[in-house]
Structure 1
Amino acid sequence: MQNNTISFRVQPGGTLRGEARVPGDKSISHRSIMLGALAEGTTRVTGFLEAEDCLATMNAFRAMGVEIEGPENGRVCIQGVGLHGLRAPKDPLYLGNSGTSMRLLCGLLAGQHFDSVLTGDVSLSRRPMKRVTEPLRSMGAVVETTETGTAPLKIKAGGGLRGIRYDMPVASAQVKSCLLLAGLYGVGQTCVREPAPTRDHTERMLAGFSYPVDRKGDTVCIQPDGKLVACDIDVPSDISSAAFFMVGAAIAEGADVTLQHVGINPTRTGVLDILRLMDADIQVLNTREMGGEPVADIRIRSSRLRGVEIPEELVPLAIDEFPVLFVAAACAEGETRLTGAEELRVKESDRIQVMADGLRILGIDAQPTPDGMIVRGGKLSGGRINSHGDHRIAMAFSMAALRAGGSIEIEDCANVNTSFPGFVELARKMGLNITAICGEIL
C-alpha cells in the first residue's frame, strides 16, 4: 500500500443511536448537473452531494463552457447553455472513479458537434464500457475504446445519430440513461426496454425539466424534438449511503437510528424490502414528495435477523447495497442466498469475490457463486480487510465491527470520498468507534 492512502481502524462493539441526515443522492446529483447544463435558464440545486464522483461531473461541464457556481453547503447554481450550447473541451475529461459520469456522458457527448475523450482512474479504466458503446454505435455514434472495451473513450463528431429500439440484455440504469441522453440528439424516436425495473431518476428528472418522456410498462421512449427548461432541484439523502446505517442499526445491540429525508424512489428501495424479509425492525415515516422524488424518514432499531433467499426481482433495486447486505447476512441466523447479481462482479471491484474474501477473514462461511453468494450467519472475529479501493466495501466492513469480536482494519479507503464525504465523522457521532488513518500501512 502506498503512503498516501487512507485506512480505517474500527474497534469492536458499540451501538448506533440518534438522528442523522446522510449526504445527498449521488445519482440525482449527477443528473442535476447534466440536465441543468443542457437546460435553458438557471437551475438551482440544494442538497447536492459534494463528493468526488459528482464533482467530476461538474468539472467536466465546466470544461465544456458551462458556468456553475458552488457547491457551497450543498447549493449549486447552473447557468444552462441549452441542448446545443456545449463547447469542445481543450483537454480529455477526467472522471476519476465515476462510472456514472463516464457512461452517461458517453451518450450525451455522442451527439455533439465536437470530439471528446473520457478518461478515469485505474479502477474506472478497468470497468466494462461495451454495454454503452455497442448500442451507441448502432445509433451511428463513433466511439473508440481499448481492445478490451474499456476507457479511455474517444468520441468523434459523426454524421448524426439515429433513434433505435434497444432491448437491454441486463438491467442497468446507466445504460438506459446513456441511450436516453443520446436520444436527445438522434433522428427519430429512441426506445429502451429493460428486463427488470431499474432506477428511473433520468426519466423523472427529464420530466421535471419539462422534456416529454413516454413510459409504458418496461419501455421508455424519447423524441429529439423537446427542450429542457431550467427548474429547482432538492436532492434527497442517498438511500445507498443510508443503507450502511440501516444495517448497522439492525445488527448492533440496543441501536435506534432515524435517518432523515431519505429518497425512497420505488426503483431504489430493494434494500428496505430485503431487510424486512430478514425481519429487520424498520419504519418508514413522514412520507412526502420533493421535486418529483418520494422521500421519507427511516427509523431502524436493533433486531434479530434471519437468513433468507433474496428474490431475484429485488436484485436490480438493491444492486449498490449488497456489500452491506452481505454484512447483515453474516449477522443473521441461518443461510442467506443471493442469485442473479452478476453485475456485482464489474463494479468498482468484484464485489462478490472481495466481500466473500473479507467475510472469510472475519470467520464467516461465505461461498461466492458466478452470480451471487451463499452466506451462513455466524460469529464475526476481527481482522484485516483489503477494500480494493471500493468505497462500499470499506463502509460495509466498518459496520461489521459492531458485531465483531476484535478490531477490524480496512485498507485502501480513500475512495469513500467518492460517495460519502464525512462518513467517518458521522459514523463516530452515531456511536461507531472508527478512526481514519492517513498515510499509514496497517
Structure 2
Amino acid sequence: MPEVQEFAMPATTSANLAVDGGRVVRGGAPFTARVPGDKSVTHRALLAAMLPGAPDTVTIRNANLGGAVRALLPAMRALGLAVETDGTAAGGGVLTVRRGAAPVPQPRREHHGVTGWPQDVPYLQTEGSSAAARLLVGLLAGTGTRAVVDGDEVLRHRPMEWLVEPLVALGADIRHLGDPGRLPVLVESPVHRPGTVDLKVGSAQARSAVVLAAVAARLPVTVRHPVRSRDHTERMLAAFGAGLTELERTVVCDGGGYTVPPVIDVPGDPSLAAYPLAAHLLWGDGSELRLPDVGLNLTRLGFFDVLRTAGADIAYADRRLTSGGEPVGTIVARGGLDGVTALDVDEPALLHALIDEVPLLAMVAAALPGTSRIGCAAELRFKETDRLATTARLGAAFGARVDVVDDGLLVRGGAPLTAGPVPAHEDHRLAMAAATLAVSLPGRTTVLGGGCHRTSFPDFADVQRAVGARIHEDTER
C-alpha cells in the first residue's frame, strides 16, 4: 500500500458534516440551484473600492460572504474604510464600502522571529486568506500606503516572494519582518519605476498584485507570466477603463486612468457550482440540473470542460456580461457519468482553470473506470494544506486508489468506495469534495471538521440539499 494512504484522523476544530447517500427526488422538474458570488471577483471588487479616485461609496452586489472574503474586511477598516455586510439581500450578499471612517486598529498577532515591530503604521491581519494578503500587498505598493500585512500561522508559511520580488523590482520598498519570503511584510514605499517584470509562477494572485500596483500607481508596466490563469483583475480594471493589453503570457499596463463605478456586480462562483454539478453527475438518475447566473470566464471552466471532454453532458446557456466585464450564464447538466472516460489534466493552463477543484475532480475520477491523471499541480503543495498529499489521504479514506506522482495525482478508478469517517484536514475544498462524493455512496459519511466549508461556501449544505442531497451539520464531536 502506498505510504501516502497511511494516515491517522487529524484533530478538528470545525463541526462535522454528516452525509447520507442517495438523492431526494422531487418529481420530474429540473433541479435548480443558485451558488454564491465568486470569491475571487469579490476580493477584487473590494480592492477596487480602495483604489485612488474610487467613489466615496461602492456597493458590491452578489458578493461572496465566506470566511476568506471576511478576512479582508478588518484590514480595510484598519485603513479607514467602513465596510457593511448584508447577507439577507435578495440575489446574494451585499458589501458596502465607505471612505473616510475612523481607522479601527487590529490586535497584532505575535511572531516569535520578529523584533522591532513598526508601531506607527496600520497592522493588517488577513487570517488564512492568501488572496486577501497578496492582493492587499499589491494595492498598498501601488498607493504608497505604509502598513504591515500579516496572516495566521498557516498563511505565514505560504510563499510571498512570488509577488514581493517583482514589486521591489518596480521600486517598492517591501520587507519581510519574519522568515524570508513569508508574512508578515512591511510595505514602506510605492512602486515608481516603469519596466518589465517576469513572474516565476502562474499564480493569478501574484499577477493580480503586480497589475493592481501598476494601475493604482498609474505606472507603465509589462508583466510576463509563465501560464494563463484566472484573469478577473484584468477584466475588471479594463471594464473600468484602465489601459490594459493582454498578449500571449503578457499583460501590458499603459499607466493611464480609470473610473471605478459606484456599483460592482459579482457573478456566481463557478468553483462553487462544481459541487452541486458533481453531485448531480454522481447520482446519474437521468434528471436535469440548471445552475443560473454563474461566471463563465474561460479561465475558470476547467472542471466542467474536462468532464465535457470525457463525455459528460454539460452545456452553457443564457450568456451575457456583468458590469465588471465577466461573462455569466446558466450551466446545464443532464444525465450522469455513464460512458464518461478517465480524466486527463496535462497542461498548466487547464490546471489553473480548475485549480480549486482538484480535490473534487480526484473524487469524481475515483468513481470512474480507468486511470485518471491530474498533472502540472505542484503549486497545490502550498494551499491551505499540501493538497496533493491531503487529497490522496482523503481518497484513501473512501477506499480509492489516489497516489501523489511527480507534480500531480494518479487516480486508479474502479476500487470499491465506502462511506465512513473521512478527514477534511481543516481545508474547505477537501471538506466539500468529500461531502460531494459521499452523496453517491450507500450509508453515512461523516466529514470530520467539514464545517470549514464556510471559508468559501457558507451555504454549501443548503445548496446541496436544493439538488437532493441529504446532508447536515453534526455538532456532536
Q: TM-score, normalised by structure 1?
A: 0.91
Contact 2:146 2:189 in 1 (8 A): yes
Superposed, which structure 2 residues align to 1:197-208 within 5 Å?
197-208=228-239
Q: Does 1:365 align with 2:401?
A: yes
Show the counterpart of 2:54: 40
Q: Which structure 2 residue ranges, 5 or more long, are not aligned?
A: 1-9, 106-120
The Cα of 1:12 is off from its aligned counterpart by 2.3
- Counterpart of 2:37 in 1: which secondary structure? coil
For 2:104 and 2:472, locate their aligned partners in 1 and report how far apart those are by CA, in whole Å: 43
Residues of 1 paired with 2:50 and 2:288: CA distance? 41
1:382 equivalent to 2:419? Answer yes
Quick one: structure 1 residues 163 and 234, their matched pair in 2 at CA, closer, same or farther if it must change by over 3 Å? same
The change in CA–CA distance for 1:188 and 1:45 in structure 2 (over 3 A counts) is closer
State the Cα distance separating 1:199 from its structure 2 match. 1.0
1:353 aligns with 2:398: no
Distance in 2, matches of 1:414 and 1:141, equals 40
Structure-2 residue corresponding to 1:156: 188
User: In structure 2, what is the Cα distance between the partners aligned to 1:161 and 1:26?
Assistant: 30
Q: CA deviation at 1:186?
A: 4.9
CA separation of 1:165/1:87 partners in 2, compared to 1, >3 Å: closer, same or farther?
farther
Secondary structure of 2:63's counterpart equals coil
Of the candidates 59, 77, 81, which is equivalent to residue 96 of structure 2? 77
Q: Distance in 2 between matches of 1:142 and 1:413?
A: 41
Q: Where do 4+ consecutive residues of structure 1 move more than 4 Å?
A: 1-4, 85-91, 185-188
Query: How has the CA–CA distance of structure 1 residues 234 and 114 changed in structure 2, closer, same or farther, with 3 Å as cutoff?
Result: closer
1:71-150 matched pairs, under 5 angstroms: 71-72=86-87, 73=89, 74-79=93-98, 91-145=122-176, 146-150=178-182
Quote the residue 2:357 is aligned against. Answer: 321
Structure-1 separation of matches of 2:446 and 2:104: 45
Q: Which residue of 1 aligns with 2:337?
A: 303
Structure 1 residues 259-295: Cα deviation after superposition (integer angstroms, max 9, x where no partner):
1110001111111211112211212121222222111
Structure 2 Cα separation of the partners of residues 202 and 260 of structure 1 = 23
Amino acid at match of 1:93: L
CA distance in 2, matches of 1:212, 1:324: 37
Q: Offset at 1:122?
A: 2.8
* Between 281-290 and 61-70, the greater mean CA deviation after superposition: 61-70
Match of 2:378 in 1: 342
Distance 1:15 1:221, change over 3 A: farther
Q: Which ranges of structure 1 fall in alignment gaps of 5 or more residues?
A: none
* Candidates 16, 31, 34, aligned match of 1:18: 31
TM-score (norm: length of structure 2): 0.85
Aligned length, in residue pairs: 436
Task: Report the Cα distance in structure 2 between the residues aligned to 1:137 and 1:30, rounded to whole angstroms.
Answer: 23
Once residues 245 and 12 of structure 2 are traced to their aligned partners in structure 1, the CA distance between those partners, rounded to angstroms, is 51
Over aligned residue pairs, what C-alpha RMSD do you find? 2.4
* Matching residue of 2:211: 180
Cα deviation code 1:211-259 (max 9, x no counterpart): 2222233211224442433242221100000011121111113153211
Structure 1 window deviating more from structure 2 (110-119 vs 368-377): it is 110-119
Q: Which of 267, 271, 295 pairs up with 2:303? A: 271
Give the conservation status (yes or no) of the 8 Å contact 1:15–1:252. no
